C-alpha cells in the first residue's frame, strides 16, 4: 500500500459551520445515518438548517486554521454516547464548534426543527437562541478537548476494528 506523504491536506475538505453528534448508545449504525428512517439524523437532514452565506473576510489568514465565515455546511453524525435525559426516547446532541450539549430532543421532525432553530441555525451565535427552546436543556461541555473515535463498521471496517482498541 502506498501512502502519500507529499499532498497538502490543508484546505482539502470544505469546512462545516456546525457539526452535531447525536446520542444513540450504539457503536455501529447505518452507512449513512441521515438515511435511517425515523431517526433524529434523518429528520434533521430533512429540516432546512439555514446555511451561512459565505462571506469573504479580508482579515489575516492563519495557516492551518480555516475561516469559519466561509463555512456553509452542517455535519450530522451519530455517537455511541447515551442520552443524558431521564426519558430514553429523547436524544442528547453534542454541538461543535459551540462545545454545547443539548438534551431533551425528540427523535421527530418537530424535535429536529427545535434543534435546528434554537441551536444550529448559522445566524445564531454560539450562545444559541435568545428565545428558550421549550422542553430542551443545554449547557457548555465542561472539557477543554473532546476526542471522537470512529467505530462505524458498515462504512469502513478499519474503524470498527481500531476504535475498541483505541478506547481502551
pLDDT recorded at residue 110? 94
Percent of the chain with pLDDT over 90: 27
Q: Above 70 in pLDDT, residue 51?
A: no
pLDDT value at position 141? 92
Considering 59-63, 80-84, 95-99, 106-110, the range whose residues carry the highest mean pLDDT is 106-110
**Residue 21 reports pLDDT greater than 90:** yes
Q: Look at residue 39 and tell me whether its pLDDT is greater than 70.
A: yes
Q: How far is CA 54 from CA 14, 16, 51, 128, in A?
A: 12, 11, 9, 20
- CA dist 139 and 104 (Å) reads 12
Of 65 and 105, which is predicted with more confidence?
A: 105
Integer Cα distance of 29 and 105 in angstroms: 19
Can you give the pLDDT at residue 102? 94
pLDDT of residue 52: 44
Distance from chain centroid for Cα 7: 27
pLDDT of residue 148: 80
Residue 26 pLDDT: 78
Return the minimum-mean-pLDDT range out of 4-13, 31-40, 80-89. 4-13
pLDDT number for residue 20: 93
Among 33-42, 89-98, 120-129, the minimum mean pLDDT is found in 120-129
Taking CB atoms within 8 Å and a gap of at least 24, the contacts of 6-11 are 10/63, 10/64, 11/66
Quick one: which of 147, 124, 127 has its CA closest to 138? 127
Amino acid at each position: 500500500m502506498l501512502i502519500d506523504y507529499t499532498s497538502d491536506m490543508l484546505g482539502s475538505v470544505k469546512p462545516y459551520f456546525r457539526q452535531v453528534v447525536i446520542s444513540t448508545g450504539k457503536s455501529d449504525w447505518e452507512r449513512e445515518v441521515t438515511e435511517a428512517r425515523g431517526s433524529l439524523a434523518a429528520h434533521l437532514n430533512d429540516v432546512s438548517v439555514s446555511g451561512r452565506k459565505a462571506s469573504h473576510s479580508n482579515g489575516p489568514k492563519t495557516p492551518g486554521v480555516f475561516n469559519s465565515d466561509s463555512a456553509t455546511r452542517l455535519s450530522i453524525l451519530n455517537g455511541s454516547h447515551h442520552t443524558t435525559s431521564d426519558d430514553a426516547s429523547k436524544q442528547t446532541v453534542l454541538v461543535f464548534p459551540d462545545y454545547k450539549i443539548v438534551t431533551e430532543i425528540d427523535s421527530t421532525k418537530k424535535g429536529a426543527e427545535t434543534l435546528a432553530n434554537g441551536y444550529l441555525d448559522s445566524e445564531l451565535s454560539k450562545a444559541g437562541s435568545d428565545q428558550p427552546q421549550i422542553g430542551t436543556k443545554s449547557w457548555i461541555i465542561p472539557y477543554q478537548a473532546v476526542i471522537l473515535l470512529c467505530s462505524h463498521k458498515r462504512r469502513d471496517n478499519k474503524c470498527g476494528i481500531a476504535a475498541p482498541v483505541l478506547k481502551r
